[in-house]
Amino acid sequence: MPRPRTGRAIAAVRCARWSSACARAGSRRPARHDRCHGHRLDRRPDRGLAVIPIRPAGSGGVLAAPGAGLAGAAPGVSEPPPLALYVHLPWCIRKCPYCDFNSHEFRDGDSPPEDRYVDALIADLESALPSVWGRSVQTVFIGGGTPSLFSPEAIERLLAAVRARLRLAPGAEVTMEANPGTFEAARFRGYAQAGVTRLSIGVQSFSNDALAALGRIHDAGQARRAIETAIDAFETFNIDLMYALPGQSLDALRADLREALAFAPPHLSVYHLTLEPNTLFARRPPPLPDDDLAADMQALVEDETGAAGLRHYEVSAYAREGHRCRHNLNYWQFGDYLGIGAGAHGKLSFHDRIVREARLRHPRAYMSGALDSGAIEVSRTLAAAELPFEFMLNALRLLDGVPAALFVERTGLSLAAISRELQRAADRGLLDPDPTVIRATPLGMRFLNDLIEGFLRD
């Protein structure tokens, strides 16, 4: 019997509200690192599944009618959730043809204006302090673009400024993305000395032909050397791979996986290549594996990582015990995050509202704004009706799901407000019937778009 196919859609719904659910700078989807993929499924699970009853768990308040309490602004939360900091460094040497993040090439002979940009980041952070005053920051993530274009000295100045203005939790995770094309051993060690505890290395493939097809600036040798340095210099690290690449075979993917796993990485992120709007690949699509082969590739990823001792804990993430990405877990558990940098998005919860912010996208406009009148381009209070979709868009990516009580804690809504949607998803076999947890079934993970879309309201 054929397995249900994920196609290009083991991810989340694309819709007009995507940017409001975004955790990534200038992106339309939650954090790339652990990024969402946004293609819609064109098949639905069997409508003839047996009915699985589900009852809403108690919310500690008066039980409301289904859908009640969703008019008007979000009600706010009794206790703010954990807080993270995202910092966006937007420049890259060459924009990859599949990339739709807020990244900007700089011309040969130039270099990013790192001093002015760090000044702008510090000014932006100072302007944001009243919104997060007294709160402890659990994790920091420096993403891009290509953050490793910035010197270790610039990263050290940035992190020193963060520590001087925010209370970092003991043992805070500090992640930085790095492109192997910028690799120098002394440079990478400098990032560790500056305070980066976790390096996320954008390898994507160990095949030079595949890397060329993806427009990457590094080769396989640089990738190997970058990983070897990360093993030696950092507390922990992540390797990024991609699959369903142009012309890729199952054997080619197996070779990539086995080479990556030979380094015994504490964390591995494996993303399905998707054709995003407004990219070169969207305008001139390369030949990609068909849906059946892509599904076989996903199964191979799960088999190979499992055999190597990594646990599949999120749609695209695999980790050894104690090495899950805490920053991304905060996104997926609908925590708060302050986003600074060009195009950075943020989500902040208060007792009377939940707010999403977006910074100015273009680096020049961002620097001018941050150093003058302010860098926030959009700030809006979420409507209560938006929260179920936004919560599920993140939480249902986790294979273990989340406690049902977390929905109440992080949205301020009663579970009764989504009882109809929960029941419908359980009836279709997409959601676990256990009332104490919100978790996709194996079938729900295969048809995750359908499951999440069920919580989208007009």
CATH number of 83-331: 3.20.20.70
pLDDT per residue rounded down to tens, the chain (458 residues) = 333 333 333 333 333 233 333 444 433 333 333 333 222 222 222 222 222 222 222 322 222 334 445 666 667 899 999 999 999 999 998 888 888 888 888 765 577 899 999 999 999 999 999 999 999 999 999 999 999 999 999 999 999 999 999 999 999 999 999 999 988 899 999 999 999 999 999 999 999 999 999 999 999 999 999 999 999 999 999 999 999 999 999 999 999 999 999 999 999 999 999 989 988 888 899 999 999 999 999 999 999 999 999 999 999 999 999 999 999 999 999 999 999 999 999 999 999 999 999 999 999 999 999 999 899 999 999 999 999 999 999 999 999 999 999 999 999 999 999 999 999 999 999 999 999 999 999 999 999 999 999 999 87
pLDDT on residue 282 = 86
pLDDT on residue 279 = 87
Best CATH choice for the domain 49-74+385-453 from the list 1.10.10, 1.10.8, 1.10.286, 2.10.260? 1.10.10
Rounded to a whole number of angstroms, the distance between the first and last alpha carbons of the chain is 37
pLDDT on residue 109 = 59
pLDDT on residue 98 = 85
Domain residue extents for the chain: 49-74+385-453, 83-331
pLDDT on residue 52 = 23
232, 317, 242, 320: which is closest to 276 by C-alpha? 242
Which pTM was predicted? 0.86
